[in-house]
Structure 1
Amino acid sequence: MTERYTVISADCHAGADLLDYRPYLASRHHEAFDAWAATYVNPWEDLAAPEAERNWDSDRRLAELEGDGIVAEVVFPNTVPPFFPSGSLVAPAPTREEFVLRWAGLRAHNRWLADFCAQAPGRRAGVAQILLNDVDEAVQEVRWAKEAGLTGGVLLPGVPPGAGLPELHSRVYDPLWAVCDELAVPVNHHAGSASPPLGDEPAARAVFMVETTWFSHRALWHLAFGGAFQRHPGLRLVLTEQGSAWIPGVLDMLEYYHGRLVAAVAPGTAKAATAEAKFGAGLAGSMGKGPKAVWRDHCFVGASFMRRHEALLRDRIGLDKVMWGSDYPHDEGTCPYSREALRTAYAGLPQKEIASMVGGNAARVYGFDLALLDPIAARVGPTAAELAEPLPAPPPDATSPVFAAGGGARVW
């Protein structure tokens, strides 16, 4: 029998059609929902008909993913939930009234998502959404999501500068980390969720593109230096659609600062061993271990549309940390050329290593049952022989940056 890879996309997106959220809202919110929906303006091109149906049409979605060689997916949000002015990833609630309504909207999305995942048992790991304005509410929603079978974990909202919320390193979030540790719920932090508002002029859009992944990376050093992993040893953090080539260099940088901050007093003197040590009082005890050890023991990367230069860094990133994603159904995603994208990234690498990055690691992190998925992959997955061959040329109409000329020079 031909060997085929079991491909699990660690980065896909879905959501309900606008009015289909209404039944998932408590009746007391229906009047407000009707008023909001009547003035709603779609902010995203990929939510326009007819392609928008890929977000909620279960049969179409399964067919397109299988046609792309993918048998299962981690499902992040995509459509705008009730009462939000834009994507919920980037819209904190500034007032109490808006907070109440937006929490209702996110709960509606989460309940819709549980039903959507149930339409394809074992093949969708839905990621529940929360807000951070009320940590107790967030904890309750994590418990509900676990009981409802949303195996993708929880989506950690960004806390951009000026958000009016405590920074992610704050211990105010400890109850959230504790419940995720207790229930083995992965904490996901997706790109685009933590940038401050910059405006809409051309320069602002360019600055956003340069900075957005950096702001997303901040969750790593906030939680690491904040000691969250020390206090909650089962906590797992997944950084998704932020690239992966940055990881070795950032870990080196974090390790450097950690070493300088926790340096002991110079032998035979009362003087600090480094200039930075005066800022690091108490850090060694609260962290418990250095940044590289934190990464090794607690962190993973959803390396969406992975590029060749990233794959060549897999040992420095951690082979067991890398999870490939197609970013379906976004324009920058690899569909319908995921096989070609996989060849671009992985051709010539050992089969066992490819198998880990394209599916095995995601199965372990999100609890997919490979005994269920392998028979499907035996029918639709890319073959080992296919992925062993370098791609001679990218598809002419491919839009994913994985196929971009000179993409190997990118560092993020």
Structure 2
Amino acid sequence: MTRRLDGPERYTVVSADCHAGADLLDYRPYLPQRYHEAFDAWAADYVNPFTDLMAPEATRNWDSDRRLAELEQDGIVAEVVFPNTVPPFFPSASLTAVQPTAAEFELRWAGLQAHNRWMADFCAKAQGRRAGTFQILLNDVDAAVAEVRRCHASGLTGGLVLPGVPPGSSVPELWSEVYEPLWAVCAELDVPVNHHAGSASPQLGEEPAARAVFMVETTWFSHRALWHLAFAGVFHRHPALKLVLTEQGSGWIPGVLDMLEYYHRRLVGAATRAATAESKFGVGLAELMGDGPRAAWERNCFVGASFMRAHEVPMRDQIGLDKIMWGSDFPHDEGTYPFTTEALRTSFAGVPFEEVAAMVGGNAARVYGFDLDALDAVATKVGPLVDEVAQPLTEVPPGATSPVFAKGASVRVW
């Protein structure tokens, strides 16, 4: 945040949810030479299914100077960068891809590592302004652990993108003890574990109803990582581990925490009563978890609250003011660009300065290791004006496409 003598002037905005990736052929140099022939054959036949990666706007995924300029124009001084473009050997975006079969694993793994190497170079072009995330696959936990160490050493401070495990997946569910080395290395190196929406949903098909159901359910499937890790005792064994649930909304959190606490108490209590119908469901749970799910949330968890909507903001104390990290979702159509100030007005008008400053920048700086003092210096020139954000938005800007502006999604009673 930046201040004038008589009070705050501008916010220092760090987007906890942005996306980037290389142009398709630019991944080739990041692959080991033994995969070049296979890459050339794959790239020659590849048909891009995403119109936004073919339009002139696609260059903002990999054009560092353009990206910095557009983010600054929108009032954003730093970003956590998730994947966006299609890495080698994937049929579509890797962020939403299911875990590969054993036959697919070698090439897909090489493709993800190429993306990770590209991401490190991309973030190095804007030192201190980008926290790049990196991807793994869960088919080979030892290889995943080695990639965590390599990516951490390469300067990717955004942390691990945890793949989703939909029901019926070819790999174990996230609560499985097979992943213990992964949690251990992330806790050891202080690497945030990010679980982004879209990667945990089962494939439902292309019928109109299937597509609608996917949209309704996709965030719920992403929420599952929270209770899988909590009931597996991961947070109890690794109290320093950070789990970030990104682009899943935030209004669901208080109710889900109440539900998880209820089941925790119910199952632990049942385990102490012999010969009841429920006693077997809670056996060993108290020892495994230590404390309850709410304590784990308060100690270990954060939310990447992309384009946080107005009706969610009054829940901030129930969610945890220190847990919320606003995100713009740049450069997606549902993101707030180029109307970030208007989006902030929609959500945060009337909220005290110190609280807004934490949610739009301070919390993300702490979780992802940004130098907030250095970012403040940039924000003095480009950050959204505090006085402007304090004014409720009365008219949606023409051309705004973010759900934060949708009718009924951001209604606040004044």
Match of 2:282 in 1: 280
**Deviation for aligned residue 1:265:** 6.8
Superposed, which structure 2 residues align to 1:244-263 within 5 Å? 244-263=250-269
Match of 2:307 in 1: 305
Q: RMSD of the alignment, in Å?
A: 1.4
**Deviation for aligned residue 1:264:** 5.8
In the alignment, is the contact (CA less than 8 A) between 2:75 and 2:379 conserved in 1?
A: yes
CA–CA separation in structure 1 for the residues paired with 2:11 and 2:221: 34
Are 2:329 and 1:327 equivalent residues in the alignment?
yes
Match of 1:366 in 2: 368
More displaced stretch, 392-401 vs 318-327: 392-401
- Please list the CA deviations of residues 309-364 of structure 1 after superposition, one character each: whole Å capped at 9, or x if unmatched: 11111000000000000000000000000000001000010000000000000000
Match of 2:74 in 1: 68
Match of 1:138 in 2: 144
**Deviation for aligned residue 1:93:** 4.5
Match of 1:340 in 2: 342
CA–CA separation in structure 1 for the residues paired with 2:341 and 2:203: 36
CA–CA separation in structure 2 for the residues paired with 1:55 and 1:350: 34
**Structure 1: which amino acid aligns with 2:397?**
P
**Deviation for aligned residue 1:270:** 5.2
Superposed, which structure 2 residues align to 1:133-282 within 5 Å? 133-263=139-269, 276-282=278-284
**Deviation for aligned residue 1:230:** 1.2
- Please list the CA deviations of residues 64-103 of structure 1 after superposition, one character each: whole Å capped at 9, or x if unmatched: 0000000000000000100001111232344334201111
User: Secondary structure of the residue that 1:151 maps to in structure 2?
Assistant: coil
User: Secondary structure of the residue that 1:262 maps to in structure 2?
Assistant: helix
Superposed, which structure 2 residues align to 1:88-127 within 5 Å? 88-127=94-133
In the alignment, is the contact (CA less than 8 A) between 1:89 and 1:158 conserved in 2?
A: no
- Please list the CA deviations of residues 130-176 of structure 1 after superposition, one character each: whole Å capped at 9, or x if unmatched: 00000000000000111000000000000001211100000100000
User: Secondary structure of the residue that 1:189 maps to in structure 2?
Assistant: strand
Are 2:13 and 1:13 equivalent residues in the alignment?
no
CA–CA separation in structure 2 for the residues paired with 1:178 and 1:93: 22
In the alignment, is the contact (CA less than 8 A) between 2:270 and 2:282 conserved in 1?
A: no
Select which of 317, 321, 325 maps to 2:319.
Answer: 317
CA–CA separation in structure 2 for the residues paired with 1:409 and 1:228: 38
In the alignment, is the contact (CA less than 8 A) between 2:89 and 2:108 conserved in 1?
A: yes
Match of 1:31 in 2: 37
Q: TM-score, normalised by structure 2?
A: 0.96
User: Secondary structure of the residue that 2:65 maps to in structure 1?
Assistant: helix
CA–CA separation in structure 2 for the residues paired with 1:305 and 1:161: 29
- Please list the CA deviations of residues 259-294 of structure 1 after superposition, one character each: whole Å capped at 9, or x if unmatched: 10001677xx8565xx53331000011011101101
CA–CA separation in structure 1 for the residues paired with 2:103 and 2:335: 36
CA–CA separation in structure 1 for the residues paired with 2:340 and 2:411: 21
- Percentage of identical aligned residues: 74
In the alignment, is the contact (CA less than 8 A) between 1:363 and 1:370 conserved in 2?
A: yes
Q: Which runs of 4+ in 1 moved over 6 A?
A: none
In the alignment, is the contact (CA less than 8 A) between 1:195 and 1:216 conserved in 2?
A: yes
In structure 1, stretches of 5+ residues that fail to align are none
In the alignment, is the contact (CA less than 8 A) between 2:112 and 2:135 conserved in 1?
A: yes
Aligned residues: 406
**Structure 2: which amino acid aligns with 1:213?**
T
User: Secondary structure of the residue that 1:188 maps to in structure 2?
Assistant: strand
Q: TM-score, normalised by structure 1?
A: 0.96
In structure 2, stretches of 5+ residues that fail to align are none
CA–CA separation in structure 2 for the residues paired with 1:341 and 1:184: 32
Match of 2:381 in 1: 379
CA–CA separation in structure 2 for the residues paired with 1:242 and 1:270: 40
CA–CA separation in structure 1 for the residues paired with 2:279 and 2:305: 35
**Structure 2: which amino acid aligns with 1:320?**
D
CA–CA separation in structure 1 for the residues paired with 2:382 and 2:397: 20
CA–CA separation in structure 2 for the residues paired with 1:375 and 1:101: 43
**Structure 2: which amino acid aligns with 1:350?**
P
Are 2:363 and 1:357 equivalent residues in the alignment?
no
In the alignment, is the contact (CA less than 8 A) between 1:14 and 1:55 conserved in 2?
A: yes
CA–CA separation in structure 1 for the residues paired with 2:138 and 2:95: 12
User: Secondary structure of the residue that 2:388 maps to in structure 1?
Assistant: helix
